[in-house]
Structure 1
Amino acid sequence: MAPTGRGTGLPELPSARVDAVWRAAAPHLARRRFFTIAAAATALAFGTGLPARGAMAAPRLDARRITENPFTLGVASGDPLPDAVVLWTRLAPAPYEPDGGLGQEQVDVNWEVALDELFVVVVSSGVALAHPEYAHSVHVDVQGLSPDTTYYYRFSVGTWVSPEGRTRTAPADGSSVSSLRLAAVACQAYHDGYYTAYRHLAQEDVDLVFHLGDYLYEYPVNSAGGERGYAAGTLPDAFDRETMTLTDYRMRYALYRSDADLQAAHATHPFVVAWDDHETENNYAGAIPENDVPPEEFLVRRAAAYRAYWENQPLRAAQLPQGPDARLYRRLHWGDLSQFDVLDTRQYRSDQAYGDRPHVPGPESDDPARTLTGDAQERWLIEGWQASNAVWNLMPQQVLFCQRNFDVTDPPKVSMDAWDGYRASRDRVVAGAKAAGLTNWIVLTGDVHVGYALDIKDDFDDPASANLGTELACTSITSGKDGADKPVNWEAHLRANPHMKFYNGRRGYLRMELDREAARSDFRTVSAVTTPGAPVTTAASFVTEAGAPGLKPA
């Protein structure tokens, strides 16, 4: 079968479908308020429209009129399957302008996939439309590729050619795979420093990268780029406000994606992405915002944030949001070696207990009805484990899964924003893992801006209880600025959590290698992000043996 590609394209939503989308969102809203705000919310969330067809379609732009490089935001690939991978770019000759410099015209974008860097052996090619309704982003789902194969790709518009990207497909379903190399990253506040860790990650020999959330921060970025210290006036004032509208989010992604180090990592490795809170708003929970904003107003903001996220990530059409909702949790495989159950722990969660502050667990947080994943995602996860034949089951997700006592007081405070604030939800997931007989279970986590290595215990209050799996938190790319090897609460954290085997506060990423006998984890850190060019070192390494849960120093 010859490789093919499906470029978006993507369906428009007629008015009846828009109404259906907002009716589907009605459970988020109080019934008495829904119908009074539905029309206004729909207008706000869908005011930019979705691609129309025929006579109503946006006009085509003659590519010869593009006089500046349209590939300022780089290229990316993601979600590799045995026979397919998603290719991404977004045209923006003026990336800091609201329309990216292309106005409201469609643009034909050529794409190629080859077996070699010189593009002598081209195996697939085509033309995709960059729609103004999708901020001139392009998502090509290239199909008919060979399993377990490295490919090179590029885009072109008129005389302009994009940077070259490298990607790969997953091994064939069920095939015997000897090893896998991956990395995990999270939390990249642009204003907190340089993406030095990404430059080093681009040079790592890994098969794919998991981004575990906080790709974007909604906070203002001043003209100096915060800690980056640009010359005054370097960045437009449009960035110096919190993101609220679709235009705000699109422009903020343009700022982040203009970074050369981030572009290098994306161009070198396929990414599997999932959001946390800051892609929309700090610590939101489902339809409930951080502050006292009515849920129906917040859902309009969430619709804008979700739309911009999809536009700027290498995601398939299946992840395209419908208003304020998007199915981001999904399952991928790496032959018979590993199954990846990528979670979304923001969109479906109950509101945080006790005002979202660290608190001793109590009746409010321990209500059995509370959920971090939502019932449907929880069932999907556990049923997927029951059907898994993989050697390793990885659960990439956002907030800390293991118990984390903040101090040695009795009882200790814990985070109400993490799984500690949803202990009944965690208990159900742990019970599901035990019932499925998972012996090689690894949880990958972002959010906390530090590196942790923890044993998942059958009973976190009993250090002698059985180990059920391993949790690895990957620290941040920049969030929290430079950090320190031993944060001020380093000793207290380790004393209060005997299952915590490692704690480091520097910036960086997690590198892992899995084979059929063991999983090795390396915590890669840089000494500074407030100045560019810091070297990367390995702060610690651990091994988890197959069939014997528990972390051991490598």
Structure 2
Amino acid sequence: MTITTARSRWHAPELRAAARHIGRRRMLSLTAATVALAFAIDLPTVGAAAATPLDAARIAEFPFTLGVASGDPLPNSVVLWTRLAPAPYQPDGGMPAQRVDVDWEMAKDEAFSALAAKGTTTAHPEFHHTVHVEAQGLEPGRVYYYRFRTGSWISETGRTRTAPAADSAAPALSFAAVSCQAYEDGHFTAHRHLAQDDVDLVFHLGDYIYEYAIDAAGGARKYTDHALSSAFGHETMTLEDYRLRYALYKTDPDLRAVHAAHPFVVTFDDHETANNYADAVSDNGMPPDQFLLRRAAAYRAYWENQPLRMPQLPVGSDMQLYRRLHWGLRAQFDILDTRQYRSDQAYGDGRHIPGPESDDPSRTITGQAQEKWLLDGWRNSKALWNVVPQQVCFSQRRMDLNAVAQVSMDAWDGYPASRRRILDGAKAAGIENLMVLSGDVHVGYAFDIKDDFDDPDSRTLGTEIVATSIVSGQDGTKTPANWNTYMTANPHLKFYDGRRGYAKITLGETQARADFKTVPYVTRQGAPVETAASFVTEIGEQGLKPT
């Protein structure tokens, strides 16, 4: 047995080396004072100014109140996450402004009798006492168990897994797609069911938190035995606000359970910062320099509270979130960020008929650099399935039966030239088994991705699975009021369900299967889960077929 032992430390020079992607055009648009604030890295200091060490024996209350998580699995590595917060609803989490040693260990069995890796890292006050361990030297394609210890306290046990070896013909892969979990809209029951489901990993497609005020009763949760702190009663604006909002979410037992059960791969949408923002343009007219300060706070709190690697550490208001993962030769995952680099929404956002403003070929939802990265990655892909986890509806979604229908200016329909370049790039690269994962809209959809969405007989280039919300929108309904309109106006739309839940996808050797899991209600606890519909798409014959 080989045990990897390490003592991991945050080193300021290494962290500053990650600060390589500050946007020059933003720098030129801001005042010197705002630049100093928005792009301050606030890294752990060294030398005389460093935070003093804390004897972990002095931590008098259980500090792992926010659970554990893992993510971004590689063949020999996975990220492990936790945070020390004995009093999670206090701004400081109940921790002094001192650094604390935290031990971690991984094992091949839940009893930890066969250790595989262990080490010590530091929880820094500058990072709100969060811990990001990039465990190395692991075996590919296997399950591991992990836990943390500080002083006399031991965290709960998490379960994770590594990706198969890069050149291996990996076995069938099952994963879940989830999105949109507004705490105030109800209970995270779907997460509890997902925690008990058999999947290899979970893709969170955005809106992990919501920025809106939450009343003392927890909104639709209607607490009667306790009241939420007034700290949650206003919209998130500052770093402290965002940090507290993550603390509220992560104390939810169902969210803790699903993180402990499966590794996550995360990407944000808008509500982790503010509704429907586009690059430096806010939805409510906030001046760009002020909005970028808010965005810097939101991105910092996002990284602190997710199992993300060092390259994703934000620098001020910039964060390199798009990245690529592989599951042997079975799948290539190109995780996108369609919020940080996009052109401002056309026609003032919302629903609108297409026109010269939205059809402008220079408009982009990904930014030029990310678009090139995606297309270059496809040209080099050796994977059987190419999967694109991202945020908003990719396929055309006509919203009425008029000859020229309204579409969403916030989705890819508001950026048709950008979508056209992506589809042409997929064709040029010879991508035959394309799947796009989306969230955002609080309903479940299954689309055939057409070469020409206005021609139902055009070639099907891939499939899109839109995961409904975990809870956003409250209970929902199986057949929304616009169901007939949408199904008639969009022949490539094969499924539409308005209830809460998640999508489970299995990538096999000859076909992919998508199961839409739904719960009948979330405004009270205890809802059962059912499979609302199942579809397959076959190798060499793209297109969704019901099973």
TM-score range, shorter chain: over 0.9
Equivalent residues of 1:7, 1:139 under 8 A apart: no
Q: Choose the corresponding residue for 1:451, options 438, 444, 447.
A: 444
2:441 pairs with 1:440? no
CA contact (8 A) 1:168 1:270 kept: yes
Deviation at 1:41, TM superposition (A): 4.4
* Contact residue 111 and residue 155 of structure 1 kept, 8 A: yes
Look up the match of 1:202.
195
Corresponding position: 1:239 with 2:232: yes
Map of 1:219 onto structure 2: 212
Partner residue of 1:160? 153
Aligned equivalents of 2:77, 2:260: Cα separation in 1: 17
Alpha carbons 2:143, 2:162 under 8 Å: kept: yes
**Contact 2:38–2:317, Cα closer than 8 Å, also in 1:** no
Secondary structure, counterpart of 1:505 in structure 2: strand
Are 1:285 and 1:348, in contact at CA under 8 Å, matched by a contact in 2? yes
The answer for the alignment partner of 1:28 in structure 2 is: 26
Summarize the Cα distance change of 1:167–1:460 in structure 2 as closer, same or farther, 3 Å threshold: same
Q: CA deviation at 1:6?
A: 6.9
RMSD of the TM alignment (CA)?
1.7
Look up the SS of the partner of 1:430 in the other structure.
helix
Shift of 1:203: 0.3
Kindly indicate whether residue 313 of structure 2 is the aligned counterpart of residue 320 of structure 1.
yes
Q: Secondary structure at the match of 1:263?
A: helix
Contact 1:206 1:269 (C-alpha < 8 Å) held by counterparts: yes
Amino acid of the residue matched to residue 3 of structure 1? T
What secondary structure, in the 3-state scheme, does the structure 1 residue paired with 2:461 have? strand
What is the DSSP-based 3-state SS (H/G/I as helix, E as strand, rest coil) of the residue aligned with 1:80? strand
Alignment of 1:380 with 2:373, yes or no, is: yes
Specify which of 324, 334, 346 is matched with residue 353 of structure 1: 346
* Per-residue deviation, residues 376-432 of structure 1 (Å, max 9, x unmatched): 100000010011111100000000000000011110000000000000000000000
Indicate the residue corresponding to 1:123 in structure 2: 116
Distance 1:513 1:38 in 2: 51
Q: What does residue range 5-20 of structure 1 map to in structure 2 within 5 Å? A: 7=8, 9-11=10-12
1:231 positional shift: 2.3
Partners of 1:401 and 1:222 in 2: CA distance: 34
Aligned to 1:142: 135
Distance 1:11 1:70, change over 3 A: same
Alpha-carbon contact 1:6-1:140 (below 8 Å) kept: no
Shift of 1:67: 1.0
Give a deviation string over 1:34-61, Cα, whole Å, max 9, x none: 2xx22244236638x3200122210111
Alignment partner of 2:159: what SS?
strand
- Higher mean C-alpha displacement, 63-72 vs 229-238: 229-238
**Helix, strand or coil at the partner of 1:123:** strand
User: 1:60-97 deviations in whole A, cap 9, x for unaligned?
Assistant: 11111111110000000000000000000011000000
SS at match of 2:10: coil
Alignment partner for residue 191 of structure 1, among 184, 206, 221? 184
Cα separation, partners in 2 of 1:147 and 1:313, compared to 1, 3 Å: same
Q: Does 2:142 match 1:177? A: no
SS state at 2:462 partner: strand
Q: What is the CA–CA distance in structure 1 between the aligned matches of 2:59 and 2:265, rounded to whole Å? A: 32
Q: Please point out which of 519, 524, 528 is paired with 1:531.
A: 524
1:330 to 308, 323, 342: 323
**Aligned partners of 1:552, 1:330: CA distance in 2, in Å?**
31
* Cross-structure match for 1:249: 242
* Cα distance in 2 between the residues matched to 1:4 and 1:477: 38
Correspondence 1:398-477 to 2 at 5 A: 398-477=391-470
2-side partners of 1:73 and 1:400: how far apart? 32
The answer (yes or no) to whether the contact 1:212–1:396 under 8 Å persists in 2 is yes
Is 1:260 matched up with 2:257? no
- Could you tell me how far apart the structure 1 residues matched to 2:171 and 2:68 are? 30
| 1:329-376: CA deviation from partner (whole Å, max 9, x where unpaired) | 000001111000000000000000000020011110011110000001
Q: In the alignment, which of 9, 31, 42 is matched to residue 36 of structure 2?
A: 42
In structure 2, what is the equivalent of residue 83 of structure 1? 76
The 8 Å contact of residues 392 and 441 in structure 1, kept in 2 or not, is answered as: yes
1:141 and 1:11 mapped to 2: Cα distance? 17
Contact kept, 8 Å, 1:246 with 1:308, in 2: the verdict is yes
The 1-side partners of 2:120 and 2:249 are apart by 27
Distance 1:44 1:380, change over 3 A: closer
Residues in 2 aligned to 1:335 and 1:377: alpha-carbon distance in whole angstroms: 23
Within 5 A, what are the aligned runs for 1:498-509? Answer: 498-509=491-502
Q: Which amino acid aligns with 1:39?
A: A
Closer, same or farther in 2 for the Cα pair 1:298/1:21, shift >3 Å?
farther
The 1:531–1:12 alpha-carbon spacing in structure 2 relative to 1, beyond 3 Å, is farther
Q: Distance in 2 between matches of 1:264 and 1:209?
A: 13
The CA distance in 1 between the partners of 2:285 and 2:151, in whole Å, is 49
Q: 1:437 and 1:314 mapped to 2: Cα distance?
A: 33
Mapped to 2, the partners of 1:414 and 1:367 lie a distance apart of 16
Contact 1:518 1:544 survives alignment (8 Å): yes
| CA displacement, residues 141-199 of structure 1 (integer Å, 9 cap, x when unaligned) | 00110000110000011111000000000000010113101000000000000000000
Q: TM-score, structure 1 length as denominator?
A: 0.96
Between the aligned residues of both structures, percent identity stands at 61
Equivalent-residue separation in structure 2 for 1:4 and 1:366 (angstroms): 55
| SS at structure 2 position matched to 1:255 | helix
Does structure 2 conserve the Cα–Cα contact (< 8 Å) formed by 1:8 and 1:140? Answer: no
What residue number does 2:483 align with? 490
Gaps of 5+ in 2: none
Q: Give deviations 1:510-542, integer Å, cap 9, x for gaps.
A: 011111100000000000000011000000000
Whole-Å separation in 2 of the counterparts to 1:368 and 1:257: 42
- The secondary structure found in structure 2 opposite 1:46 is coil
Q: TM-score w.r.t. structure 2 length?
A: 0.97
Contact kept in structure 1, 2:7 and 2:120, CA below 8 Å: no
Structure 2 residue 544 is the aligned partner of structure 1 residue 546: no
Q: Residue 265 of structure 1 aligns to a residue in which SS?
A: helix
Letter in 2 for 1:64: A
Partner of residue 94, structure 1: 87
- The alignment partner of 1:79 has SS state of strand
Query: Is the CA contact 2:39–2:315 (under 8 Å) kept in the aligned structure 1?
Result: no
Residue 514 of structure 1: aligned partner: 507
Unaligned runs of 5+ in 1: none
Give 1:234 shift: 1.5
Shift of 1:17: 8.7
In the TM superposition, residue 7 of structure 1 has moved relative to its aligned partner by 3.9
Match of 2:289 among 293, 296, 304: 296
Residue in 2 that maps onto 1:151:
144
Aligned to 1:67: 60
